[in-house]
Amino acid sequence: MCFAFDARPPALPADFALPPMAGGAAAEMLELTSADGACFSAAFAEAPAGTDPGVVILPDVRGLYRFYAELAERFAEAGRHAIAIDYFGRTAGTGERGEDFEYMPHVEQIRATQIQADTDAASAALRERTGATTVATVGFCFGGAQSFLAATRRELGLSAAIGFYGVLSRARGGAPKVLEVAGETRCPVLGLFGGADQAISAKEVEAYDDALGAAGVEHAIVTYPGAPHSFFDRTQAEHAEASTDAWRRVLGFLDQVGAPSRA
C-alpha cells in the first residue's frame, strides 16, 4: 500500500490557498455510474470560481479513503474543482474504505480498462457539476501509473496528467507497463518521485523522462533526494519541504496547462 491509513495531505502553501471564505467546501460523497453500468464511489469538492482544469484524483491501491477525500478538499481550497474516485465498486460495493478493508483481492480483479472508464465518468460528472471544460488526472503509486496511462488515451481528452511515484515498470489489470507506452503520451505530464523510493529506481525514472522527451511530450520529472515512496504526507514532517515543493509544482503545472494561450 502507499500511505498509512492515518496519513493526511500536506497543507497547501500559503500563497496558493484562497482566502478562507472563498475556500472549497467539505467533500461530498457521490455514487457514479461507469460505461458498463457499474456504480462506484467518488468524493467531490467544488471550488467557488474554480478555474480549468478540474482534477480527477486516482488513489493508491486501497482506493477511496479519507486521505483522498481530504485531498479533493485541498484542491478546492486552491481553486480547483476536484473529484477522487474509488476503484472497487464492481467487487466491493460503494462507500469510503476503512482501515480494515482487504484491498488486494479487489486490486487483483480490477481491469485497467475499467479504471479508465471510471475516470471518464468522473471527468464527465466534474464537468457537468462545475462547468469545467478541461480535466487533468493526479494519481498516487498505483494511481500514479494509472494517471500516466490515462495520458496515452486520446479519448479521455486530458489537458494534463500528474503522477506521484507512479510505478513505471510493473503492470496490473491487463494494462501495459508505463515505460512501454510512454511514447504514446498525448498531453503534458508531471512526474514526482522520491530519490529513496525502493519501488521505483532512478534508472526507470530516467528512462521515462527520456521516452517522453523523445516523443516530444511537454513534461517535467522531479526527484526529491532522500524522499521515500509516499513522501507526500503531512505526518512525515521530515519530508515537509519536498511536500511543499510538490504542491507548488502541481498547482503551477495546472496553472500552466490551463492558461488561455494553450486553448
Q: Is residue 215 part of a domain?
A: yes
Q: Is residue 23 part of a domain?
A: no
What is the spatial distance between Cα 260 and Cα 174, in angstroms, rounded to a whole number? 37
Question: Taking a C-beta distance cutoff of 8 angstroms, is the pair 43, 28 a contact?
Answer: yes
Q: Is residue 142 part of a domain?
A: yes
Question: How many domains, in total, are found in the chain?
Answer: 1
Q: Is residue 171 part of a domain?
A: yes
Tens digit of pLDDT for each residue in 1-25? Answer: 577 788 889 999 988 866 654 444 6
Tens digit of pLDDT for each residue in 170-207? Answer: 988 889 999 999 999 999 999 999 999 999 999 999 99
Q: Is residue 33 part of a domain?
A: yes
Q: Is residue 20 part of a domain?
A: no
Higher pLDDT, 126 or 17: 126
What is the spatial distance between Cα 169 and Cα 178, in angstroms, rounded to a whole number? 6
Residue 127, pLDDT score: 96
Q: How much is the average pLDDT of 62-80?
A: 95
Q: How much is the average pLDDT of 89-99?
A: 92
Question: Does residue 260 carry a pLDDT above 70?
Answer: no
Residue 19, pLDDT score: 61
Residue 20, pLDDT score: 57
Q: Is residue 32 part of a domain?
A: yes
Burial class (CB in 10 A: 0-12, 13-18, 19+), 50: buried
Say what the pTM is. 0.94
Residue 235, pLDDT score: 85
Q: Is residue 150 part of a domain?
A: yes
Set of cell numbers at residue 223 = 526527484
Q: Which domain holds residue 189?
A: 28-258
